[in-house]
Structure 1
């Protein structure tokens, strides 16, 4: 009889054990639901009933409006007037023409030359120097590189010459020109992030020749390097720039510093959101600066605001500067190696129509 009793008791224990497991799972699911629901409710209350929550939604909207997915900005549920204000700040930034350098009278120029002759010789500056950027702000942080080029006449806008419907990668530009340093420049058509960078947006001048004389997207601004090494920025046509002596020029937006004035000094940073950034500027002594800030990588660098970018340049004595295309296009190479970390899924970066290079 013992074997029979054993066989009949096992199913009862099995059913009891199964029932306990089911009750435990149901209880765990209920607790998890309450936690998730509570977090969702708490987040909703924070985002829609507090000043900090509204500011966070403005940050999100500003970030989305500067991407190819700007249509998502409406889902931040900001008031229509506030969303329209953010859009206007991005699409129609203030544009100021940089002032031309006024030639010194002959007698003053002679005095300056005499002073230079009495100054002891110092060690020649390196053509290219690279500085690390590592900044922590309240709520976000970013890393990147600043490349200083002592001779502005060694900086050129290089153009893709491919005929297969795509632009060049930065390392391909580097191989073609033997560039010491290089960063991305113009924007380009980029539907859903799959643009092939074959044609730049806006105005383009290369080696003193006008390749494009229009701005396809409203609010874009020209940045040009003249044959005498000066960098100018403003609302110029290609013809006007050629008459000024432009060797290379392109257009994007916004201006960061003009005539020594920080264009974002009095602006709220959140209007342009937080993104990977690229910028080009010039100091009073002629030094050209390339800046690339990494972004969209929580374990490495979140990204920077336009105000962050303008402040970095102003701190280093830049007098004229403008933003280049940003996002997954932002990238810098030095001696053929990437020294910034692109947010593009492909480690070599994006296909690009042109780039600013040192050679």
Structure 2
């Protein structure tokens, strides 16, 4: 028998035409799937745009996002959400609203526990700790509330060296303070300012340390008078001196006056950002609220309505906004930073800070702006 007759026959190959058709079919299926995804994406984009621009809830979200951008160094990006005209109108509307919020005269009266009978029988008020820090949490934010039992223990401190600001942790450590938070704003060209030129006025120990009002006759301030009463709202410099205001900086808006909140809802809350807020309770205690932000996974930030509600829940009868954003910081004794500042470089160099002292009368705060005019200062030069 011929051995070749029993050898296995080679496997038959499929026709070349069938193989090409299979490849074309697979490619066609792939592009059809891509086409369907593209169409689906376009439909979803159109529906999302319709929701954002044509519904009340979508419009509210757009403006909340725009407000959040307005509080950052990327303010101009907000025009891509609400338009260039919308951005200008939004900023102007907030400015006008904040001005109006500072007009009502505050009439609150502080009643320390020893005077109003709130102290427990036999309890010595002086034995209570001067400061207390507690954590606060809400939807998307984490922060801290510093309570200072005696408002007369607070001083406004400024940098030690002319020409540049100072970190609050450095101020606390240098002066031996018990605690401290950032205070007023400052000229910040291209968000790279040296922290040395304050905005508005600075008052420390009852004296005008800096006056950058120019032709303005009044300004919105946040501070404390010599009796420990918190002062916030619009006043002239002479009014502040007549009221014996001891420590103060220019900033706005005021959030609470005469026990009532001025911000009606989240949509008026000026976006989401790191925040620093000062308030006072009827017993005289000062509240400093510090909210971290711009850190996904930890804390995005809060709007001013959130801050207002926290202060009301803790008994504040007056409260006002201080500088926030990357400046927001809470420091404990020894210069320990409690919160997580939003700046990628850590703490910023600032012109002012509210510090707490066991013995404020022993603290010397030299006026580093003495003899300087606002025009003498280059806020961008380090």
TM-score normalized with structure 2 length:
0.76
Which has the larger displacement, 54-63 or 237-246?
A: 237-246
Separation of aligned partners in 1, 2:37 and 2:212:
57
Give the equivalent residue in structure 2 for 1:312.
310
SS at match of 2:66: helix
Q: 1:120 Cα shift?
A: 2.4
CA distance change for structure 1 residues 182 and 20 in 2, over 3 Å: closer, same or farther?
farther
SS at match of 2:135: strand
Alignment partner for residue 171 of structure 1, among 155, 169, 172? 169
- Report Cα offsets for 1:308-332 as digits up to 9, x if no partner: 1111111111112110011111111
Structure number with larger C-alpha Rg: 2
Alignment partner for residue 105 of structure 2, among 97, 106, 114? 97
Give the equivalent residue in structure 2 for 1:120.
122
CA distance change for structure 1 residues 58 and 121 in 2, over 3 Å: closer, same or farther?
same
Question: 1:278–1:323: 8 Å Cα contact kept in structure 2?
Answer: yes
Structure 2: any 5+ residue segments left out of the alignment?
1-22, 358-382
CA distance change for structure 1 residues 195 and 30 in 2, over 3 Å: closer, same or farther?
farther
Give the equivalent residue in structure 2 for 1:156.
155
Structure 1: any 5+ residue segments left out of the alignment?
1-17, 105-111
- Report Cα offsets for 1:50-81 as digits up to 9, x if no partner: 32211111112222333343333322136957
The 5 A counterparts of 1:1-359 are: 37=42, 39-77=44-82, 80=85, 84=89, 87-93=92-98, 94-95=101-102, 96-99=104-107, 101=109, 119-122=121-124, 124-136=127-139, 141-163=140-162, 165-215=163-213, 221-264=220-263, 266-335=264-333, 336-346=335-345, 348-359=346-357
Give the equivalent residue in structure 2 for 1:108.
none
SS at match of 2:256: strand
Separation of aligned partners in 2, 1:217 and 1:91:
19
Separation of aligned partners in 1, 2:38 and 2:118:
76
SS at match of 1:146: strand
Question: 1:184–1:329: 8 Å Cα contact kept in structure 2?
Answer: yes
Separation of aligned partners in 2, 1:213 and 1:114:
38
Separation of aligned partners in 2, 1:341 and 1:72:
25
Separation of aligned partners in 2, 1:169 and 1:73:
30
Separation of aligned partners in 1, 2:82 and 2:204:
44
TM-score normalized with structure 1 length:
0.80
Separation of aligned partners in 1, 2:30 and 2:299:
40
Give the equivalent residue in structure 1 for 2:366.
none
Give the equivalent residue in structure 2 for 1:3.
none
Question: 1:280–1:323: 8 Å Cα contact kept in structure 2?
Answer: yes
Separation of aligned partners in 1, 2:82 and 2:109:
47
CA distance change for structure 1 residues 339 and 113 in 2, over 3 Å: closer, same or farther?
closer
CA distance change for structure 1 residues 121 and 197 in 2, over 3 Å: closer, same or farther?
same
Question: 2:275–2:328: 8 Å Cα contact kept in structure 1?
Answer: yes
CA distance change for structure 1 residues 28 and 341 in 2, over 3 Å: closer, same or farther?
farther
